[in-house]
A = this chain, B = another copy of it.
Amino acid sequence: MPGSKRQLSYWKFKLHEIIYEADTPAGKTFDIILFFVIIFSVILVMLESITSFDAKYHDYLFAAEWFVTILFTLEYIARIISIKNPSKYIFSFYGIIDLLATIPLYLSYFFAGTQVFLAIRALRLLRVFRILKLMRYLGEASQLGRALQASKVKIAVFIYTVLILSVILGTLMYLIEGADAGFTSIPKSIYWTIVTLTTVGYGDIAPQSDLGQVIAAVIMILGYGIIAVPTGIVTSEFTRQASLDKKVHSNTQVCPHCLEENHLEHSHFCHKCGSLLNE
Protein backbone atom coordinates (compact mmCIF):
# COMPACT_ATOMS: atom_id res chain seq x y z
CA MET A 1 0.00 0.00 0.00
CA PRO A 2 2.19 2.82 -1.23
CA GLY A 3 -0.55 5.34 -0.43
CA SER A 4 -0.63 4.52 3.24
CA LYS A 5 3.15 4.48 3.20
CA ARG A 6 3.18 7.91 1.64
CA GLN A 7 0.58 8.96 4.17
CA LEU A 8 2.77 7.61 6.96
CA SER A 9 5.77 9.52 5.68
CA TYR A 10 3.51 12.57 5.42
CA TRP A 11 2.63 12.14 9.08
CA LYS A 12 6.26 11.70 9.98
CA PHE A 13 7.06 14.88 8.10
CA LYS A 14 4.21 16.69 9.84
CA LEU A 15 5.36 15.39 13.24
CA HIS A 16 8.91 16.44 12.52
CA GLU A 17 7.72 19.91 11.66
CA ILE A 18 5.76 20.19 14.89
CA ILE A 19 8.44 18.78 17.16
CA TYR A 20 11.67 20.03 15.70
CA GLU A 21 10.63 23.32 14.17
CA ALA A 22 9.08 26.32 15.80
CA ASP A 23 7.98 28.40 12.81
CA THR A 24 4.51 26.96 12.27
CA PRO A 25 1.66 27.69 14.72
CA ALA A 26 1.49 23.98 15.60
CA GLY A 27 5.22 23.85 16.27
CA LYS A 28 5.02 26.95 18.41
CA THR A 29 2.11 25.56 20.43
CA PHE A 30 3.96 22.28 20.93
CA ASP A 31 7.07 24.11 22.17
CA ILE A 32 5.14 26.26 24.61
CA ILE A 33 3.22 23.27 26.01
CA LEU A 34 6.50 21.38 26.31
CA PHE A 35 8.07 24.31 28.15
CA PHE A 36 5.29 24.35 30.75
CA VAL A 37 5.40 20.56 31.18
CA ILE A 38 9.15 20.83 31.86
CA ILE A 39 8.64 23.64 34.37
CA PHE A 40 5.82 21.58 35.96
CA SER A 41 8.08 18.51 36.16
CA VAL A 42 10.85 20.49 37.85
CA ILE A 43 8.42 21.98 40.39
CA LEU A 44 7.08 18.46 41.00
CA VAL A 45 10.57 17.21 41.88
CA MET A 46 10.95 20.13 44.27
CA LEU A 47 7.60 19.54 45.97
CA GLU A 48 8.33 15.83 46.41
CA SER A 49 11.49 16.76 48.28
CA ILE A 50 9.57 18.75 50.91
CA THR A 51 8.81 16.03 53.48
CA SER A 52 5.74 17.64 55.03
CA PHE A 53 4.24 18.38 51.63
CA ASP A 54 5.01 14.90 50.30
CA ALA A 55 3.44 13.26 53.35
CA LYS A 56 0.22 15.18 52.81
CA TYR A 57 -0.21 14.99 49.05
CA HIS A 58 1.84 11.90 48.21
CA ASP A 59 -0.85 10.32 46.00
CA TYR A 60 -1.37 13.45 43.96
CA LEU A 61 2.35 13.92 43.48
CA PHE A 62 2.75 10.29 42.47
CA ALA A 63 -0.07 10.62 39.92
CA ALA A 64 1.42 13.83 38.56
CA GLU A 65 4.82 12.14 38.33
CA TRP A 66 3.25 9.38 36.20
CA PHE A 67 1.50 12.00 34.09
CA VAL A 68 4.78 13.79 33.38
CA THR A 69 6.63 10.55 32.76
CA ILE A 70 4.05 9.36 30.22
CA LEU A 71 4.12 12.73 28.42
CA PHE A 72 7.92 12.65 28.31
CA THR A 73 7.84 9.03 27.08
CA LEU A 74 5.42 9.88 24.27
CA GLU A 75 7.52 12.91 23.32
CA TYR A 76 10.68 10.81 23.32
CA ILE A 77 9.11 8.16 21.06
CA ALA A 78 7.69 10.83 18.75
CA ARG A 79 11.10 12.46 18.48
CA ILE A 80 12.68 9.14 17.49
CA ILE A 81 10.12 8.05 14.91
CA SER A 82 9.80 11.45 13.27
CA ILE A 83 13.49 11.90 12.53
CA LYS A 84 15.25 10.36 9.57
CA ASN A 85 18.36 9.37 11.46
CA PRO A 86 17.20 8.46 15.00
CA SER A 87 20.68 7.64 16.33
CA LYS A 88 21.72 11.20 15.60
CA TYR A 89 19.08 12.44 18.06
CA ILE A 90 19.52 9.65 20.60
CA PHE A 91 23.21 10.32 21.11
CA SER A 92 22.95 14.08 20.93
CA PHE A 93 23.24 16.23 24.09
CA TYR A 94 19.50 16.86 24.25
CA GLY A 95 18.72 13.24 23.33
CA ILE A 96 20.60 11.90 26.34
CA ILE A 97 19.08 14.48 28.67
CA ASP A 98 15.58 13.70 27.36
CA LEU A 99 16.11 9.99 28.01
CA LEU A 100 17.53 10.51 31.51
CA ALA A 101 14.67 12.88 32.34
CA THR A 102 12.13 10.25 31.28
CA ILE A 103 13.31 7.05 32.93
CA PRO A 104 13.65 7.70 36.73
CA LEU A 105 10.13 6.51 37.51
CA TYR A 106 10.57 3.32 35.46
CA LEU A 107 13.94 2.64 37.05
CA SER A 108 12.53 3.16 40.57
CA TYR A 109 10.74 -0.19 40.18
CA PHE A 110 14.06 -1.94 39.67
CA PHE A 111 16.57 0.08 41.67
CA ALA A 112 16.49 2.34 44.71
CA GLY A 113 17.90 5.87 44.72
CA THR A 114 17.20 6.70 41.10
CA GLN A 115 15.94 10.12 42.12
CA VAL A 116 19.39 11.32 41.14
CA PHE A 117 18.16 11.36 37.55
CA LEU A 118 15.29 13.63 38.51
CA ALA A 119 17.77 16.46 38.92
CA ILE A 120 18.54 16.08 35.23
CA ARG A 121 15.06 17.35 34.43
CA ALA A 122 16.34 20.82 35.26
CA LEU A 123 18.71 20.48 32.33
CA ARG A 124 15.71 20.24 30.04
CA LEU A 125 15.09 23.86 30.94
CA LEU A 126 17.90 24.63 28.51
CA ARG A 127 15.34 23.92 25.80
CA VAL A 128 13.73 27.23 26.61
CA PHE A 129 16.36 29.01 24.56
CA ARG A 130 15.20 27.13 21.47
CA ILE A 131 11.54 27.16 22.43
CA LEU A 132 11.29 30.91 22.73
CA LYS A 133 12.87 31.13 19.30
CA LEU A 134 15.75 33.03 20.82
CA MET A 135 17.77 33.21 17.66
CA ARG A 136 18.66 36.77 18.48
CA TYR A 137 19.21 35.88 22.11
CA LEU A 138 21.42 32.96 21.18
CA GLY A 139 23.39 35.36 19.02
CA GLU A 140 23.99 37.48 22.08
CA ALA A 141 24.73 34.43 24.18
CA SER A 142 27.13 33.17 21.56
CA GLN A 143 29.03 36.46 21.75
CA LEU A 144 29.18 35.71 25.47
CA GLY A 145 30.24 32.15 24.72
CA ARG A 146 32.84 33.34 22.21
CA ALA A 147 34.29 35.74 24.77
CA LEU A 148 34.55 32.94 27.34
CA GLN A 149 35.96 30.59 24.69
CA ALA A 150 38.65 33.08 23.71
CA SER A 151 39.73 33.63 27.31
CA LYS A 152 39.53 29.89 28.16
CA VAL A 153 43.27 29.48 28.65
CA LYS A 154 43.59 32.59 30.82
CA ILE A 155 40.66 31.42 32.95
CA ALA A 156 42.20 27.94 33.32
CA VAL A 157 45.53 29.46 34.41
CA PHE A 158 43.60 31.66 36.86
CA ILE A 159 41.63 28.77 38.39
CA TYR A 160 44.76 26.64 38.64
CA THR A 161 46.55 29.49 40.44
CA VAL A 162 43.62 29.95 42.81
CA LEU A 163 43.66 26.22 43.60
CA ILE A 164 47.42 26.12 44.32
CA LEU A 165 47.02 29.22 46.47
CA SER A 166 44.17 27.52 48.36
CA VAL A 167 46.26 24.37 48.95
CA ILE A 168 49.25 26.35 50.25
CA LEU A 169 47.28 28.79 52.40
CA GLY A 170 44.96 26.02 53.61
CA THR A 171 47.90 23.93 54.80
CA LEU A 172 49.39 26.98 56.50
CA MET A 173 46.13 27.69 58.33
CA TYR A 174 45.91 24.02 59.39
CA LEU A 175 49.35 24.26 60.96
CA ILE A 176 48.55 27.57 62.69
CA GLU A 177 44.98 27.02 63.87
CA GLY A 178 44.75 23.28 64.47
CA ALA A 179 41.74 21.16 65.27
CA ASP A 180 40.39 23.30 68.13
CA ALA A 181 39.27 26.10 65.82
CA GLY A 182 37.61 23.70 63.38
CA PHE A 183 40.59 23.24 61.08
CA THR A 184 40.54 19.49 61.72
CA SER A 185 42.40 18.43 58.58
CA ILE A 186 44.17 19.94 55.59
CA PRO A 187 41.27 19.26 53.18
CA LYS A 188 38.91 21.02 55.61
CA SER A 189 41.40 23.87 55.86
CA ILE A 190 41.54 24.14 52.08
CA TYR A 191 37.73 24.18 52.03
CA TRP A 192 37.83 27.05 54.53
CA THR A 193 40.43 28.88 52.44
CA ILE A 194 38.23 28.67 49.34
CA VAL A 195 35.24 29.86 51.38
CA THR A 196 37.29 32.87 52.47
CA LEU A 197 39.15 33.57 49.23
CA THR A 198 35.93 33.70 47.24
CA THR A 199 34.50 36.07 49.90
CA VAL A 200 31.64 33.64 50.67
CA GLY A 201 32.52 33.41 54.37
CA TYR A 202 30.06 30.99 56.03
CA GLY A 203 31.56 31.40 59.46
CA ASP A 204 31.06 27.72 60.42
CA ILE A 205 34.85 27.61 60.67
CA ALA A 206 36.67 30.81 61.67
CA PRO A 207 40.24 31.42 62.87
CA GLN A 208 40.65 31.94 66.61
CA SER A 209 44.34 32.71 67.08
CA ASP A 210 45.84 36.13 66.41
CA LEU A 211 48.23 34.91 63.73
CA GLY A 212 45.42 32.94 62.11
CA GLN A 213 43.27 36.07 61.92
CA VAL A 214 46.14 38.05 60.40
CA ILE A 215 46.62 35.45 57.67
CA ALA A 216 42.84 35.25 57.21
CA ALA A 217 42.83 39.03 56.66
CA VAL A 218 45.59 38.64 54.06
CA ILE A 219 43.59 35.89 52.30
CA MET A 220 40.50 38.11 52.27
CA ILE A 221 42.30 41.08 50.76
CA LEU A 222 43.91 38.71 48.28
CA GLY A 223 40.53 37.28 47.34
CA TYR A 224 39.00 40.74 47.20
CA GLY A 225 41.78 41.79 44.82
CA ILE A 226 42.14 38.79 42.51
CA ILE A 227 38.45 38.86 41.66
CA ALA A 228 39.65 41.67 39.41
CA VAL A 229 41.52 39.16 37.26
CA PRO A 230 38.64 37.10 35.78
CA THR A 231 36.64 40.30 35.47
CA GLY A 232 39.49 41.98 33.63
CA ILE A 233 39.91 38.96 31.33
CA VAL A 234 36.24 38.70 30.40
CA THR A 235 35.67 42.45 30.09
CA SER A 236 38.68 43.02 27.85
CA GLU A 237 37.59 40.05 25.73
CA PHE A 238 34.02 41.43 25.55
CA THR A 239 35.29 44.80 24.45
CA ARG A 240 37.46 43.12 21.80
CA GLN A 241 34.53 41.02 20.55
CA ALA A 242 32.36 44.11 20.35
CA SER A 243 35.00 46.01 18.35
CA LEU A 244 35.49 42.97 16.08
CA ASP A 245 31.75 42.94 15.38
CA LYS A 246 31.95 46.63 14.59
CA LYS A 247 34.94 46.16 12.29
CA VAL A 248 33.11 43.58 10.25
CA HIS A 249 30.31 46.06 9.76
CA SER A 250 32.49 48.78 8.30
CA ASN A 251 34.46 46.39 6.15
CA THR A 252 32.28 46.41 3.02
CA GLN A 253 34.21 48.49 0.51
CA VAL A 254 37.08 47.21 -1.60
CA CYS A 255 39.24 49.53 -3.67
CA PRO A 256 38.74 48.59 -7.37
CA HIS A 257 42.30 49.65 -8.10
CA CYS A 258 44.53 48.29 -5.33
CA LEU A 259 42.00 45.91 -3.69
CA GLU A 260 42.60 47.50 -0.28
CA GLU A 261 39.83 46.35 2.05
CA ASN A 262 39.99 48.13 5.37
CA HIS A 263 38.23 51.42 4.67
CA LEU A 264 36.36 53.63 7.09
CA GLU A 265 32.62 53.46 6.71
CA HIS A 266 32.14 56.73 4.86
CA SER A 267 35.31 56.86 2.75
CA HIS A 268 34.91 57.68 -0.91
CA PHE A 269 38.55 57.59 -1.88
CA CYS A 270 40.98 54.77 -1.14
CA HIS A 271 43.36 55.79 1.64
CA LYS A 272 46.07 53.69 -0.02
CA CYS A 273 46.17 54.65 -3.69
CA GLY A 274 43.70 57.51 -3.96
CA SER A 275 41.35 55.78 -6.43
CA LEU A 276 37.65 56.51 -6.26
CA LEU A 277 35.79 53.81 -4.31
CA ASN A 278 32.54 52.20 -5.47
CA GLU A 279 29.73 52.41 -3.00
Contact = CB atoms under 8 A, between A and B. Distances in A.
Interface string A20-64: 000000000000000000000010011001110000000000000
B51 A185 contact: yes
Given A154-B140, A202-B206, A234 B239 contact: no
Given A45-B171, A210-B187, A221-B194, A232 B235 contact: yes
Interface stretch (A5-13, A70-78, A84-92, A261-269): A261-269
A178 to B, nearest CB: 10
Interface string A171-188: 110110001000011111
State the majority secondary structure of interface residues on A.
Answer: helix
B144 A154 contact: yes
Contact of A171 (B118, B143, B175): B118
Contacts of A216: 191, 195
21 contacts: A45-B186, A49-B174, A50-B185, A51-B185, A122-B167, A125-B167, A129-B157, A144-B233, A147-B232, A158-B225, A195-B216, A199-B199, A201-B203, A227-B228, A227-B231, A228-B230, A228-B234, A231-B235, A239-B239, A260-B266, A268-B272
Interface of A: 42, 45-46, 49-51, 115-116, 118-119, 122-123, 125-126, 128-129, 136-137, 140-141, 143-144, 147-148, 153-160, 162, 164, 167-168, 171-172, 174-175, 179, 184-191, 194-204, 206, 210, 213-214, 216-217, 220-221, 223-225, 227-240, 242, 260, 262, 264-268, 271-274
